[in-house]
């Protein structure tokens, strides 16, 4: 509306704008409503953000705990594997380190007193240390003494492979490879 | 621009800013939610990994228990023969205790073994002893008991210089086992 005084009420005024439609009264209401809804959604978003942050932090902590436990388990397994390897190596060595004294004694005891042994040799195989090359000279013996020796070795869980006997006068030379039977 | 239009523009700017920051905030929330979901999924996967590691370790433990017990049982014997001097001393004591008086020859040398890292050295001992049958056999049994890790590689029993005497030529390989090799937990485990 113009600032000057108007005394002419009959002529339509040209310098005044038209009244806004009635529905436009809703604009400020809608504006405030939109502000309220916006505030609500932003508050919800903020809360969801905080919640997600907490969940993430918890999940990260849990993951770290699990990973720590997993690496501990892996380290423990590595220790077990290393120990097992050592044990296997020792066991492999021990397999080829069985006592020979019982074999020597068993052979000596297997023959009767009238029969003598002039030479008894036991040698380990380089390739398979648990295998033994046996060589024994039996003075005044027969095949029966050889059988007795083999029987006494069998009692010690040794089996003769490719046994050979040769007689030279009264001496029987007996050779064989002793293989441990499990 | 009249004051009404200006007010409208200001209002639009305010609405635009609210919308803009609201959207940015919402995007951040969505991204954080996605990160949280990913973290949860990672945690679940890590739990699975942990469970499988636990199962694997428990299985290895159960499967290797016998072997590890075997090693634990042999560890004191391994510790007892760690140097050439210790091996020599064990032989010396055994000869003295068993009363073997005639030792024709005795040689000892340390050989480097390349077969296994666990056994870097082997003490090779060669002995020629002569005495009565019972004494010699008892000594042989004793030395094999005293040095249980020793491997008799060759043994030759023949008649001695006297009627009742026996001569024994024996070669022994005693490993100097290094249990501390690589990780070295075997000694601690027991």
At B18 the pLDDT is 87
Q: Are residues B47 and B88 in the same domain?
A: no
What are the tokens at A78? 């590595």
Q: What percent of chain B has a predicted confidence (pLDDT) above 70?
A: 95
Write A108-117 long-range contacts (CB < 8 A, 24+). Answer: A108/B133, A108/B137, A109/A152, A110/A145, A110/A148, A110/A149, A110/A151, A110/A152, A111/A138, A111/A141, A111/A145, A111/A148, A111/A149, A112/A145, A114/A140, A115/A139, A115/A140, A115/A141, A115/A145, A116/A140, A117/B157
Position B68 in a domain: no
Q: Which residues contact A73 (CB under 8 A, 6 or more apart)?
A: B50, B53, B54, B56, B57
The tally of domains found in chain B comes to 2
Q: Rounded mean pLDDT of B112-134? A: 87
Position B183 in a domain: no
Q: Are residues B105 and B157 in the same domain?
A: yes
Q: Rounded mean pLDDT of B89-101? A: 87
Q: Are residues B116 and B59 in the same domain?
A: no
Q: Are residues B105 and B18 in the same domain?
A: no
At B99, is the pLDDT very low, low, confident or very high (cuts 50, 70, 90)?
Answer: confident
Domain boundary among B15, B33, B63: B63
pLDDT for B38 beyond 90: yes
Position B73 in a domain: no
Which of A66, A81, A123 is opposite residue B47, by nearest beta carbon?
A66
- Does the ipTM exceed 0.85? no
Position B85 in a domain: yes
At B11, is the pLDDT very low, low, confident or very high (cuts 50, 70, 90)?
Answer: confident
Q: Are residues B88 and B44 in the same domain?
A: no
Among all residues of chain A, which has the CA nearest to that of B26? A45
At B187 the pLDDT is 43
Residues of A in contact with B118 (CB under 8 A): 85-86, 89-90
More confident residue, B155 or A7: B155
Mean pLDDT of chain B: 87
> Which has the minimum average pLDDT: A135-149, B17-31, B51-65?
A135-149
Q: Are residues B53 and B110 in the same domain?
A: no
At A20 the pLDDT is 75
Among all residues of chain A, which has the CA nearest to that of B51? A70
Cross-chain Cβ contact B22/A41 below 8 Å: yes
Contact call for residues B167 and B160 (beta carbons, < 8 A): yes
At B67 the pLDDT is 92
Look up the domain containing B158 and give its range.
81-176
At A5 the pLDDT is 67
Position B184 in a domain: no
Q: Are residues B85 and B166 in the same domain?
A: yes
pLDDT for A177 beyond 80: yes
Tell me how close the Cα of B112 comes to any Cα of chain A, in angstroms.
16
Position B74 in a domain: no
Among all residues of chain B, which has the CA nearest to that of A79? B185
Chain B contact for A96, CB < 8 A? yes
Position B9 in a domain: yes
pLDDT for B183 beyond 50: no
Cross-chain Cβ contact A124/B185 below 8 Å: no
At B154 the pLDDT is 94
Residues of B in contact with A89 (CB under 8 A): 116, 118-119
Cross-chain Cβ contact B154/A121 below 8 Å: yes
Task: Output the domain CATH number for residue B150.
Answer: 3.30.70.60
Q: Are residues B34 and B88 in the same domain?
A: no
pLDDT for B180 beyond 70: yes
pLDDT for A50 beyond 90: yes
Q: Are residues B55 and B106 in the same domain?
A: no
Domain boundary among B11, B37, B63: B63
Which of B33, B54, B71 is opposite residue A86, by nearest beta carbon?
B71
List strands edge to edge, sheet with A171-180: A158-168, A171-180, A132-139, A116-124, B151-159, B165-176, B121-132, B102-112
Tell me how close the Cα of B53 comes to any Cα of chain A, in angstroms.
6
Q: Are residues B38 and B123 in the same domain?
A: no
At A40 the pLDDT is 92
Position B72 in a domain: no
Tell me how close the Cα of B176 comes to any Cα of chain A, in angstroms.
11
Q: Are residues B90 and B156 in the same domain?
A: yes
* Interval A84-104: pLDDT, tens: 999 998 999 898 889 999 999
Q: Are residues B86 and B161 in the same domain?
A: yes
Residues of A in contact with B77 (CB under 8 A): none
């Amino acid at each position: 509306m113009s600032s000057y005084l108007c005394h002419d009420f009959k002529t339509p005024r040209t310098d005044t704008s038209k009244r806004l439609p009635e529905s436009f009264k809703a604009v400020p209401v809608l504006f405030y409503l939109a502000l309220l809804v916006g505030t609500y959604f932003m508050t919800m978003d903020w809360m969801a953000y905080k919640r997600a942050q907490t969940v993430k932090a918890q999940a990260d902590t849990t993951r770290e705990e699990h990973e720590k436990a997993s690496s501990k388990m892996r380290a423990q397994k590595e220790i077990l594997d290393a120990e097992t390897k050592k044990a296997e190596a020792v066991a492999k060595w021990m397999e080829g380190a069985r006592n020979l004294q019982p074999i020597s004694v068993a052979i000596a005891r297997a023959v009767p007193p009238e029969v003598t042994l002039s030479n008894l040799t036991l040698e380990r195989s380089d390739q398979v240390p648990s295998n033994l090359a046996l060589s024994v000279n039996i003075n005044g013996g027969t095949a029966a003494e050889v059988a007795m020796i083999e029987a006494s070795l069998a009692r010690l869980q040794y089996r003769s492979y490719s046994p050979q006997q040769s007689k030279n006068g009264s001496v029987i030379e007996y050779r064989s490879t002793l293989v441990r039977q499990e | 621009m009249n004051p009404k239009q200006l007010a409208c523009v200001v209002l639009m700017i305010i609405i635009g800013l609210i919308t803009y920051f609201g959207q940015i905030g919402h995007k951040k929330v969505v991204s954080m939610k996605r990160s949280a979901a990913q973290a949860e999924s990672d945690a679940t996967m890590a739990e699975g990994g942990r469970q499988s590691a636990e199962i694997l370790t428990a299985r290895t433990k159960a499967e290797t228990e016998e072997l590890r017990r075997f090693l634990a049982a042999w560890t004191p014997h391994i510790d007892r023969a760690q140097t050439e001097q210790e091996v020599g001393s064990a032989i010396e004591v055994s000869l003295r205790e068993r009363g073997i008086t005639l030792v024709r020859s005795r040689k000892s040398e340390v050989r480097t073994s390349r077969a296994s890292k666990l056994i870097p050295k082997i003490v090779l001992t060669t002995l020629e002893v002569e005495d009565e049958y019972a004494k010699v056999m008892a000594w042989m049994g004793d030395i094999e008991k005293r040095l249980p890790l020793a491997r008799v590689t060759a043994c030759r029993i023949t008649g001695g210089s006297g009627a009742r005497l026996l001569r024994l030529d024996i070669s022994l390989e005693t490993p100097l086992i290094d249990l501390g090799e690589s990780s070295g937990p075997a000694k601690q485990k027991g």
